[in-house]
Amino acid sequence: MIFKSEKQMFPCPVCAQPREIKQTKKKKPYIVCDSCGLQLFVRGRSGVEAFDQLAERAGESDVWNRLANLEKRYRLTCPECGHAFWIERELIKTSWIDGSFDGFRCPREGCGATVPWK
């Protein structure tokens, strides 16, 4: 397992924000995302090796710009309640008059706003 002297980062699997890769006392990698409440601990020799390869590729393959582009395209913010969400097929809103595409419904319970697709 290779850890560089500079902080090595990895995207949170839930919110995709970069998080620092830390080490347990037994030198196994883990990440913590305070905003999502996620704790990801990597166990087992093969798991640690596979995670190290993923983390190495994240820095080399410009994953941060690729994630930022995906977020610009597919993560919307509700204009009514401010809730940020990823678009999903189930959230598609169409006109009941002619079936045309209106945008995406906000998934927050009780909101009911439609975010137009640009």
Phi, psi of 50 (to 5 degrees): -65, -40
Taking only the tens of pLDDT, the chain with its 118 residues reads 344 446 788 888 888 788 999 999 998 999 999 988 899 999 999 999 998 888 887 766 677 777 777 778 888 999 999 998 989 999 999 988 998 899 999 999 999 899 988 7
104 burial type by CB count under 10 A (0-12 exposed, 13-18 middle, 19+ buried): buried
3-state secondary structure 20-69: ECEECCCCCEEEEECCCCEEEECCCHHHHHHHHHHHHHHHHCCHHHHHHH
- Within-domain flag for 2: no
My answer on whether 57 and 78 are in the same domain is no
- Within-domain flag for 3: no
- Within-domain flag for 81: yes
- Within-domain flag for 69: no
- Within-domain flag for 79: yes
My answer on whether 55 and 79 are in the same domain is no
Residue-range definition of the domain harbouring residue 105 = 74-115
My answer on whether 106 and 81 are in the same domain is yes
My answer on whether 56 and 19 are in the same domain is yes
- Number of folded domains in the chain? 2
- Within-domain flag for 66: no
- Which of 56, 108, 99, 59 shows the shortest CA–CA distance to 81? 108
- Within-domain flag for 67: no
